[in-house]
Structure 1
Amino acid sequence: MSKVFCIDVAKCNGCYNCQLACKDEHVGNDWAPYARPQPEIGQFWIKVKENVGGTIPKVKIHYISQLCNHCENATCMKACGKNAIYRREDGLVIIDPEKCDGCKACITACPYEAIYFNEELGISQKCTGCAHLLDNGYKLPRCVEACPTDALMFGEESEMQDFIVGATVRRPETGNHPKVYYRNIPGKFIAGTVYDPIEKEVVIGARIRATNGGKTVEVRSDEYGDFWLKDLAQGKYDVVIEAPGFEYKVFENVDATKDVNLGDIPLARK
């Protein structure tokens, strides 16, 4: 039975507990034959990546925990000439610290930058899924156990299907078949504020439409004149703003490969 990690990005508040718990478990602790001690600096076997989009005041932040994906088709295993990397029956991929000769081929082969080199020991290292704990009666890796919002989950793949169906993985095009699944990673946004420059008041209830390739997303400006077109697929959008008594406002080819703040938008009266 294969173990998997499931990460709900919407629940992650960026507390970094998972990252700290991993350090606490592995820095200075020798868990051979699973892993030798993790260096105090330079390695993050689980790393919280902060993603900031937009510009002030239209800014949103989300956090994505990244770790070894314990891939079903792990390119690191294929690259290792010493057979130092193996997959356990539970699906966790382990680098044997006794067999590793420090050639770094696995580091180059990993498309997720999840493998680190320990200069002092001369070996490659990465997340073990806390296999040393699982083999001694623990149910969860330390990172999952430390998560206060249940954004991190761990269990049998067969029992996590409700989460996995509809989830995504990092870089699926590699063919590695990662076993770390993500839900609720936000798409891009286009935001702004509409106002009447004559009355010096915001415009409430303006209709804002963004169109890309025949697909249209529509929202209304709120009581502050703000609008957020959320979870957009990356691409270029034509944005049309209309409100009773005002001329149409059009923004063509808005590039939403990044989050966009259109700023304060004055509407001209008819």
Structure 2
Amino acid sequence: MKKWNLIIDVAKCFNCNNCALAVHDEYYDNEFPGIAASMPRLGHRWIDLIQRERGVYPLIDVVTLPVTCNHCDDAPCLKAARNGAVEKRADGIVVIVPEKAKGQRQIVESCPYGAVWWNEEKKLPQAWPFDAHLLDAGWTKVRASQSCPTDAIRTLKVDDAEMRRLVAEEGLQVLQPEAGTKPRVYYKNLDRFTKALVGGSVAGPVSGTEECLAGASVALVQGGRKVAETVTDTFGDFRFDGLDEGSGGYRLEIRKPGFAPGALDFTLGQSAYLGVITLTASAA
């Protein structure tokens, strides 16, 4: 059976907030029986946008991570709910049934993603219901997908085998896989948010003056093993991404024809700029 899934490309999101606004527009002051009660005017972000800044000047990367109900196949909220207050539909969507969930604050506390919100006025746990009422009416995209100017959010209805193929093909990941909740919200380029980056610049003497060196080969080595390699750009800059924070000691090995090889040892904590590495001209 085909089920609904969401793919969010972290690299394409630039924090425009259109998805969050579209959700607010859909659910504020609107009632959808069996799906969602009205969203509060203030205080709730059923699609939240979390920003993280990596690195230090001049190597800075600002990343935005949209977070929402993950519509888990093994949903903790479903286990925490009483009297059928949370339903897992056959099409993969998880719904907190407003008519049954009143007073059940434990549903909020059960979510490992912080994606269930407490409506104090209504004494009701609430989360984004994947626009189930619109999809049931024949829509093929949730409003967050429709409103995204960069196509960072994709709505898919596919069977599980096809979804597994896409996960492998596109390198998709889920949030907090250790929680074992089997989310149906997948992320592309999630390393931009969860991993560290390091970079620097390479320079050397050219015609008597120190210039940036384009086209220099930069290898990243750990424990005697090359883990990555890149080439400096026009400005002599290089960067490596997708590294684990606090992953210990590394060595940069730099080579460019006409210059003596260079090297730099460093210990990776968080994302870092390693400065300018100056090569010396090789002997004629």
TM over 0.5: same fold?
yes
Q: Which residue of 2 aligns with 1:260?
A: 272
Q: Name the CA shift for 1:222/1:140 in 2 (closer, same or farther; >3 Å).
A: closer
The one-character-per-residue Cα deviations of 1:202-254 (angstroms, maximum 9, x if unpaired) are 23333322123534211222221211123334423413243454463322323
CA distance in 2, matches of 1:220, 1:155: 37
Q: Which residue of 2 aligns with 1:223?
A: 234
Runs of 4+ in 1 over 4 A off after TM superposition: 159-162, 267-270
Matches within 5 A, 1:31-50: 31-50=32-51
CA distance in 1, matches of 2:261, 2:156: 56
Q: Are 2:4 and 2:92, in contact at CA under 8 Å, matched by a contact in 1?
A: yes
Q: Which residue of 1 aligns with 2:167?
A: 164
CA distance in 2, matches of 1:104, 1:215: 51
Q: Secondary structure at the match of 1:25?
A: helix
Matches within 5 A, 1:1-270: 1=1, 2-158=3-159, 160-165=163-168, 166-185=171-190, 186=192, 187-196=195-204, 199-213=209-223, 214-234=225-245, 235-243=247-255, 244-246=258-260, 248-255=262-269, 258-267=270-279
Structure 1 residue 192 displacement after superposition: 0.8
Q: Secondary structure at the match of 1:77?
A: helix
Q: Secondary structure at the match of 2:64?
A: strand
Q: Are 1:6 and 1:163, in contact at CA under 8 Å, matched by a contact in 2?
A: no
CA distance in 2, matches of 1:223, 1:95: 53
CA distance in 1, matches of 2:84, 2:48: 27
Structure 1 residue 162 displacement after superposition: 4.6
CA distance in 2, matches of 1:43, 1:108: 15
Q: Secondary structure at the match of 2:63?
A: strand
**Percent of aligned pairs with the same amino acid:** 34
CA distance in 2, matches of 1:251, 1:16: 41
Q: Secondary structure at the match of 2:209?
A: coil
State the TM-score, normalized to the length of structure 1: 0.89
Q: Name the CA shift for 1:164/1:251 in 2 (closer, same or farther; >3 Å).
A: same
State the TM-score, normalized to the length of structure 2: 0.85
CA distance in 2, matches of 1:63, 1:42: 20
Superposed CA RMSD? 2.3
Q: Are 1:249 and 1:267, in contact at CA under 8 Å, matched by a contact in 2?
A: no
Number of positions where the alignment pairs a residue of Structure 1 with one of Structure 2: 268
